[in-house]
Amino acid sequence: MHRLSGLSLLALLTAACTTSTADAPKATTTTARATDTAPPPARAPALIVAGGTITGTVREIIPVESYLYLRLDTANGELWTAVNEAKLDIGATVKVYNLLPMEQFASPTLKRTFARIYFGSLQPVAPPPTSAASATTGSSDAADAQVGVVAPARGSGAQIIASLWTEKDQLVRTTVAVRGVVVKYNAGVMGKNWIHLQDGSGNPKAGTHDIAATTLEAAAVGDTITVMGTVRTNVDVGAGYKYALLLENARIVGR
């Protein structure tokens, strides 16, 4: 009687162990399913090179003084651009020319930082002058001159000319760095040298494509330089000369 009970108990224990092993979940199966259903990692839109163009559908419009920030739905994904002021509606298709990419651009006006934004123009910008005379002597009016796209300055305080005009009221008395082509140069005026720079950004019709800077250092028309100076607005230097935007006491930090 005791022997039969022992054999029966052994058989029950063996069956229980077999069932437990067969029913246990397999780790490899669970891992495979998780891998199969996981979404692909998100990828940042490819960088569009300076001077390029982009076409997209307007999804958001943020107006600022003489400029528009646009969120566009494009073939490269969702992108932010800053363009000259124009009458646009949500859903409109636009083409932005002469792009200048800026990384980690901080807008004091909007109180936000764009991981990447493209400054550009909603219409083609005229090509730079081709004659040797116009390229070396400069224009009597700096607003008449136009240059191609110039790679922007890098590092702390880096701006392009279009963004300086857009954010000028918030950047007053701050130090910024700008890289551009010298289109006009007047030496020894009121104890300073006066430089007009352009970088291919901004709107020539609105005059936001050009910036003046004062410096004690020398430059020449046609030079591509980087300057660091203090932002000033509504500067009246006398003799009928007034500047809505001026970089004062600039230093040439790159050529």
Which pLDDT value is given to residue 123?
64
Please name the amino acid found at residue 123. Answer: Q
Distance CA 138, CA 185 (A): 8
Distance CA 104, CA 113 (A): 6
Which pLDDT value is given to residue 247?
96
Which pLDDT value is given to residue 18?
47
- Per-position b or e across 122-139, b if 16+ CB within 10 A of its CB: bbebeebbeeeeebeebe
Name the CATH topology of 132-254.
Answer: OB fold (Dihydrolipoamide Acetyltransferase, E2P) (2.40.50)
Q: Which residues of the chain have pLDDT under 70?
A: 1-45, 123-145, 239-240
Tens of pLDDT, residues 214-241: 999 999 999 999 999 999 999 987 766 7
Top-level CATH class of 54-121? mainly beta
**Residue 6 exposed, middle or buried by CB count within 10 Å (0-12, 13-18, 19+):** exposed
Distance CA 102, CA 91 (A): 25
Q: Which ranges in the chain are annotated with CATH 2.40.50.140?
A: 132-254
